[in-house]
Amino acid sequence: MKQILTLVLIALLSPLSIAQDLKQSAQKNFQEQSWQAASKDYLAHLKTDATDSSDWYNLAISQYHLSKYKNAIKYFREAKDRNFAAPNIFIGISRSYAKLNDSKALLTTLSEAAENGLAAYALLKSDPVFEPYLKYPDFKAILEKVSLNAYPCLSQPNYRHFDFWLGEWDVFVGNRKVGENSITMAQGGCAIHENYKTVGNYAGQSINFYDPIDKKWHQHWVGSGGDVYNYLETKREEGLLQFESKFMGPNGNISLSRLTFTLKENGTVKQLFENSRDEGKTWTPSFDGIYKKK
């Protein structure tokens, strides 16, 4: 009786053991980029256990590298049906269609992906397989949508309010040039960087950004003289942004600074610094400059 039970257990466990061995072998071959062997093992394994989406995805990748692009598309879709990460699926299918020179199917796939949040902007622009399509108007439109998915700040008005300050500027007080300022957008558009140099020794940098938590603009400035300002928005209108910050003077006294940027009709930007020693009851101008585009 004991011998019979043992044989029954061996019979039950053997398929599981075989399936596990096949999966391990498939994974090993996949990691070693032995695509033919990996495909063979994955196909055998999936006959016994078809539930793991990553197995289908790895099989699709293996088939892609074997130039079996139609099979790759089929297995990518199997992985998708089992909830494998959609962006990787869309990219894999699109690459396969590119290799098949099926531009219509490629564009349809990428358009669907873009509408579903595909954010692989850098990959679509740099992957050689997509290079022939970069000149297609439909592909350019897809890239624009994918760019907005990747960099949502670019399309949200609150993040774009301070764009009027972007550019390369000469800074004047009256008719006298006092410095130069380079105002650039960080990749993705969620921050603006300032790099200021005077005609003398002084220089400084700031990072400017909109905070979705307090719904205000911030500017953090650090100057070469050790001066630090943490400005917080106090007023925002079209073509205008105003901040206030505490600051420490050379004698250690702490005062208030008010900083106002105003876009003028001629395209220049007025930058006004004001100081207050009575907690904002009265203000005294300390710098009144005009930014002129180089």
Domain segments of the chain as ranges: 12-151, 157-293
Check whether 201 has a pLDDT greater than 90: yes
Check whether 187 has a pLDDT greater than 80: yes
For residue 19, name the pLDDT band (cuts at 50, 70, 90): low
DSSP state of 218: E
Q: How many Cβ atoms from other residues are within 10 Å of residue 33's Cβ?
A: 11
**Mean pLDDT, the chain, as a whole number?**
93
Check whether 224 has a pLDDT greater than 50: yes
**pLDDT at residue 24 in the model:** 93
User: From the DSSP assignment, how many helices (H) and strands (E) are in the chain?
Assistant: 9, 10
| Per-residue pLDDT reduced to its tens digit, 33-87 | 999 999 999 999 999 999 999 999 999 999 999 999 999 999 999 999 999 999 9
Q: What is the pTM of this model?
A: 0.77
Contacts 24+ apart (CB under 8 A), 94-98: 94/130, 95/64, 95/127, 95/129, 95/130, 96/64, 96/69, 96/70, 96/72, 97/69, 97/73, 98/129, 98/130, 98/132, 98/133
Tell me if 118 sits within 8 A of 130, measured CB to CB.
Answer: no
What would the mean pLDDT of 204-222 be, rounded to a whole number?
A: 98
**pLDDT at residue 22 in the model:** 84
Instruction: State the alpha helices, DSSP H only, in the chain.
Output: 2-31, 35-48, 53-65, 69-81, 86-99, 103-115, 121-126, 137-150, 157-160
Topology classification of domain 12-151: 1.25.40
Tell me if 280 sits within 8 A of 245, measured CB to CB.
Answer: no
Topology classification of domain 157-293: Lipocalin (2.40.128)
**pLDDT at residue 249 in the model:** 82
